[in-house]
Amino acid sequence: MVNPMRSLLSISALLLSGWAFVSNALADPICVVDDRGRDVCIDHAAMRIAALSPGATELIYAAGAGDNVVAVVSYSDYPEAAKSVTSVGSHTRLDLERLISLQPDLILAWGTGNPTEQIETLERLGLPVYYVEPHEFEDIARNIDNLGALAGTSKRAKEEAKRFRTGIDVLHERYKQAPRVKTFYQVWDEPLMTMNGSHYISKVVDLCGGDNVFADSPRLIPRLSQEAVLLKNPEAIIAGGMGERNANWLEKWRVFADLLATQKGNLFFVPPSLIQRPTPRLLEGAQILCEKLDIARARR
């Protein structure tokens, strides 16, 4: 005969131990807040990560989790190792089939770059999505920290984030009292484009003691006429662009002898790959840009 009381006890003991087992498996889900302020929680460190923008790829590698990246998009050209990871199309149009067949356990999405419909589909299929959209220097450092936490590489990530924060602080200290330089940063040549004060490139200019002459422009990436630039009469012109050989853009400004930047010879080129992506390499780009503005100050 089985004692009913006893079997009840053993069942509840079984249930309890089962619960303990389950709660152990679920112990401490990893939770971080992404750039859209959403809570992103995963049960265990992400081992198969899909980075859906070149910038996100750089950030996840910087966080020390490059080995866990299984999918990238076109133009993910840094670091070198990212070039050999499977591509799932361009960031504007993803090959969802290929992406899902890689069975990622974490998606690093680019809210303003990836098509909303496709990211919604991924979320509907139950994949955790972390939005990477840094706007400030601190966002870059925080993203590295967060990605390190999600991928279980916090130690590396914290070091890298600290290196970045320290580097930016050093520049801030060095240039906060420096005489200001009226600066025009040329994002693109035809059509002529720059960025307004809320863009992170403008924040680099500001960090280096420069004043973006189009900081008050209402649009993030204004298209300009040459006249508008001449009217602002910047003391320094800095060209970015797409490839690394757009220094000839600066030649066009030499025609205007009355332009302050032309008079002083302050026409500079900063490698766009170092400054036109919000990634840890921005620190290097900022250092170069700061040096250029220092040259401009020396020519006064």
Partner 1 sequence: MCVSMLSVVFAITQGSVNLSPYAVWQALLGQGSGLNQTLVLELRLPRVMAAFATGGLLAVAGALMQILLRNPLADPYVLGISGGASVAALAAILLGISGVLMSGMAFLGAVLSTLLVFGLSARLGNTATMRLLLTGVVIAAGWGALITLMLALAPPHKIPGMLYWLMGDLSYASTPWLAWLVLVPTCLILMPLGRSLNVLARGPLQAAALGVNVKSLERFVFLLASLLTAIAVTTAGSVGFVGLVIPHMLRMVLGNDQRLILPASALAGGCLVTLADTLARTVIAPEQLPVGVITALLGVPTFLYLLQRGRL
Cis, peptide link before residue 191, omega less than 30° from 0: yes
Asked if 97 touches partner 1 (CB under 8 A), the answer is yes
Distances 138 to 62, 92, 98, 239, 241 between C-alpha atoms, Å: 15, 26, 34, 25, 25
Q: How far is the CB of 261 from partner 1 (least distance, A)?
A: 25
The answer to whether 251 and 244 have CB atoms below 8 angstroms apart is no
Q: How far is the CB of 104 from partner 1 (least distance, A)?
A: 12
Of the candidates 298, 235, 294, 241, which has an alpha carbon nearest to the alpha carbon of residue 269?
A: 241
- Residue written as tokens 């969802």? 96
The answer to whether 102 and 78 have CB atoms below 8 angstroms apart is no
Alpha carbon distance 152, 149 (integer Å): 5
x-marked contacts with partner 1 along 238-257 as a string, rule CB under 8 A: --------------------
Asked if 103 touches partner 1 (CB under 8 A), the answer is yes
Closer CB to partner 1, 58 or 160, in the complex: 58
Query: Residue 121: how many CB atoms within 10 A of its CB?
Result: 15
Site residue total, partner 1 (CB under 8 A): 31
Query: Which residues within the stretch 23-42 sit at the binding site for partner 1 (CB under 8 A)?
Result: none
Q: Which stretch binds partner 1 (CB under 8 A): 2-10, 90-98, 209-217, 280-288?
A: 90-98
Asked if 225 touches partner 1 (CB under 8 A), the answer is no
Q: Which stretch binds partner 1 (CB under 8 A): 95-103, 151-159, 200-208, 233-241?
A: 95-103
**From 82, 88, 132, 259, residue interacting with partner 1 (rule: CB under 8 A):** 88
Structure tokens at 114: 């990836």
Query: Which residues within the stretch 105-124 sit at the binding site for partner 1 (CB under 8 A)?
Result: 112-113, 115-118, 120-121, 124
**From 45, 100, 178, 215, residue interacting with partner 1 (rule: CB under 8 A):** 100
Q: How far is the CB of 183 from partner 1 (least distance, A)?
A: 21
Q: Which stretch binds partner 1 (CB under 8 A): 145-153, 215-223, 241-249, 257-265?
A: 215-223
Is the C-alpha dihedral spanning 72, 51, 106, 89 positive or negative?
Answer: negative
The answer to whether 96 and 83 have CB atoms below 8 angstroms apart is no
Asked if 89 touches partner 1 (CB under 8 A), the answer is yes
**From 221, 244, 247, 263, residue interacting with partner 1 (rule: CB under 8 A):** 221
Structure tokens at 54: 């070149």
**From 2, 25, 27, 125, residue interacting with partner 1 (rule: CB under 8 A):** 125
Asked if 135 touches partner 1 (CB under 8 A), the answer is no
CA contacts within 13 A on the Cβ side of 222: 20
Query: Residue 198: how many CB atoms within 10 A of its CB?
Result: 12
Asked if 136 touches partner 1 (CB under 8 A), the answer is no
The answer to whether 272 and 240 have CB atoms below 8 angstroms apart is yes
H or E segment to which residue 184 belongs: strand 181-186
**Binding site residues, partner 1, CB under 8 A:** 74, 86-90, 92-98, 100-101, 103, 112-113, 115-118, 120-121, 124-125, 193, 219-221, 223
